[in-house]
Amino acid sequence: MADPAIPLWEVFIRSRSGLAHRHVGSVHAADVTMALQNARDVYTRRGEGLSIWVVPSNAITASDPADKDMMFEPTGSKIYRHPTFYDVPDEVGHM
Amino acid sequence: MYTQGLNNHDATANDTSANSERFQARIDAEERIEANDWMPKAYRRLLIRQISQHAHSEIVGMLPEGNWITRAPSLRRKAALLAKVQDEGGHGLYLYAAAETLGVSREELVDQLLAGRAKYSSIFNYPTLSWADIGVIGWLVDGAAIMNQIPLCRCSNGPYARAMIRVCKEESFHQRQGYEITLTLARGTAEQKAMAQDALDRFWWPCLMMFGPPDSDSQHSDISIQWKVKRFSNDALRQKFVDATVPQAHLIGLEIPDPALRFDEATGHWVYGQIDWDEFRQVLAGDGPCNRDRLAARRKAHADGQWVREAAMAYAEKRRARPAKLAA
């Protein structure tokens, strides 16, 4: 018989000052203190980070990849949101 | 790397041909397949099997090397070996997490290993008889693993590919430390050089077997290549390994234990002799020199850790309950 499941946590690491925390993987741990310790041991053995976040995996709500078109396609047609949509004379220089 | 909780819709519900075609088109376009994406059941099964075997190999692989931590010849060697074995543990954990994105739990996978229902790399069923084995394992076993793993960084499964990128970054330290140990012995006394040669003699053929059966009778290769789980055939990777390794052995004055080995000018490849596939099948079937020891050691470690897991869960539960009690 397999053991009962030990909760799963997603791990985010800030690699350098000024950068955002970035998802690096996950760990199992009974509580948040151990989740942080395990994340440190598993994901930062070579100075990979300055700061770690751990988040219970089941607290994350994700968009469904099947809804990708509905979610993201509408922005594809709105080319006027990009600076290159607008014509300005070359003499203006960099703008 | 992503939660199983996200896999709540039944992504395997309709293996229709339209879905399968769309899936193959995504693979052909070099898109990565992520946790929530539709995938054929057979793809999911193949990945779970491959990733979990890979994870088990990392975990069981800690045993032959762990055997020498307390007997390393210097503090420098000891610290490096300890770090390497810790890395293997980390690699196992990255990989179990990648497998979990496919809807299987780590507990189930560990259970399969301990019950003897899962396979792991045949190489770890050979004993480490001398310190020189630690050098040769780092140089050859990790070297062979890198050959296998670099193409996996571009595997079609996103979580597996990302785990492999981390693993490969760390693995090259392993190979270099192994080669340095072997080189030091090869340049030492006659007795030390003989130790290095003896280790190479024992590990050379099992290392060639690590790439799996010859292309002529490999079961999973075709579909693996079609799904871009695998990018090169077993024989192609094996050849790459031989070509890279033979000059490294010659450079430090060691002989490859293969009388048939010769360099073919026409193709630019080293041609090697016949591999004993009966031995490979025997080790894989559970009758290698150390299969029973390895499983016994994993079972003991798991059983000995039982109270720790229970205590951690009980403590977490107590902490969770405490504020509620205060409020009441």
* B110 close to A (CB below 8 A): yes
* B83 close to A (CB below 8 A): yes
* B3 close to A (CB below 8 A): yes
Yes or no, beta carbons of A41 and B163 under 8 Å apart = no
Question: Residue ranges of the domains in chain A?
Answer: 8-87
* B79 close to A (CB below 8 A): no
Yes or no, beta carbons of B3 and A34 under 8 Å apart = no
- Return the axis-axis angle of helices B158-186 and B142-149, rounded to nearest 10°: 150
* A66 close to B (CB below 8 A): yes
Q: Tens digit of pLDDT for each residue in A20-59? A: 999 999 999 999 999 999 999 999 998 889 999 999 999 9
b/e per residue B204-220 (b: at least 16 CB within 10 A): bbbbbbbbbbeeeebee
Out of 3.30.830.10, 3.10.20.520, 3.30.1180.10, 3.30.930.10, which CATH number does the structure's domain A8-87 have? 3.10.20.520
Beta strand A8-14 with A51-56 is: antiparallel
Which residues in chain B are contacts of A66 at CB distance < 8 A? 38
pLDDT tens-place values along chain B, 328 residues long? 233 333 333 444 456 788 899 999 999 999 999 988 899 999 999 999 999 999 999 999 999 999 999 999 999 999 999 999 999 999 999 999 999 999 999 999 999 999 999 999 999 999 999 999 999 999 999 999 999 999 999 999 999 999 999 999 888 889 999 999 999 999 999 999 999 999 999 999 999 999 999 988 766 567 889 999 998 999 999 999 999 999 999 999 999 999 999 999 999 999 999 999 999 999 988 899 999 999 999 999 999 999 999 999 999 999 888 866 665 5
The three-class DSSP label of residue A62 is coil
Yes or no, beta carbons of B90 and A41 under 8 Å apart = yes
* B86 close to A (CB below 8 A): yes
Which residues in chain A are contacts of B2 at CB distance < 8 A? 10, 26, 57, 62
Yes or no, beta carbons of B312 and A3 under 8 Å apart = no
pTM: 0.89
Alpha-carbon span B328 to B324, nearest angstrom: 6
Nearest to B1 among A26, A28, A58 (CB): A26
Q: What local confidence, expressed as pLDDT, does residue A4 receive?
A: 63
Q: What local confidence, expressed as pLDDT, does residue A69 receive?
A: 82
Cβ distance B171 to B94 under 8 Å?
A: no
Angle at B319 between CA B318 and CA B324, to 5 degrees: 90
Which residues in chain A are contacts of B104 at CB distance < 8 A? none
Yes or no, beta carbons of B3 and A8 under 8 Å apart = yes
Q: Tens digit of pLDDT for each residue in B180-227? A: 999 999 999 999 999 999 999 999 999 999 999 998 876 656 788 999
Q: Which of B172, B181, B226 is nearest to B203 (CA)?
A: B181
